[in-house]
Amino acid sequence: MSEKTEKLTTTLPSDREIVMTRVFDAPRELVFKAMFTVEHVEKWWGWRDSTVDCELDFRPGGHWRFVQHTADGQEHGFHGEFREIVPNELVVQTFEYEGMPGHVVVDTLRLEEHEGRTTVTSTSLFDTTEERDGMVESGMETGAAESYDRLAELLATLV
């Protein structure tokens, strides 16, 4: 493992998209497994001071649901459906925060490996600019960065 620290980068390439990119110091097969296996997801998804219960029916047409439990006793539910899966390369899924029903985002996750390191690029497509801007203003970038930091920590124990 290298000592290089990677950080999440976020861009807004169009009026309806958010693109987040992070490089992980692990092969993509391992990153893919950690991102889509219940016992791993429960260790990295969400804020550091929270726990998460997750259900994954990881197949095209399968559904997922995560419930994040915060230290102050709040619960935040998220769910979606897997639309397309190319193992170790691509996952297209929907994402909906249960606190704001009806606002469904389509997320496309791509994994590319270069010299044993994996670049994960997530493109979120929203129905409207207002929905995209609302997500940006919600602090989602901070939460995603923290989750990805936790994923990097988990990957370091699995390599």
So where are the chain's domains?
Answer: 9-46+83-158
- 83-124: per-residue pLDDT in tens? 999 999 999 999 999 988 999 999 999 999 999 999 999 999
Residue 153: pLDDT above 50? Answer: yes
Distance, CA of 86 to CA of 89 (rounded, Å): 5
- 18-40: per-residue pLDDT in tens? 999 999 999 999 999 999 999 99
Distance, CA of 84 to CA of 111 (rounded, Å): 14
C-alpha distances (whole Å) from 21 to each of 43, 56, 60, 127 are: 20, 23, 24, 21
Q: Structurally, what CATH architecture does the domain formed by 9-46+83-158 represent?
A: 2-Layer Sandwich (3.30)
Distance, CA of 48 to CA of 133 (rounded, Å): 25
Residue 5's pLDDT band, with cuts at 50, 70 and 90, is low
Q: Are 54 and 45 in contact (CB under 8 A)?
A: yes
Question: pTM (2 decimals)?
Answer: 0.92
Residue 159's pLDDT band, with cuts at 50, 70 and 90, is confident
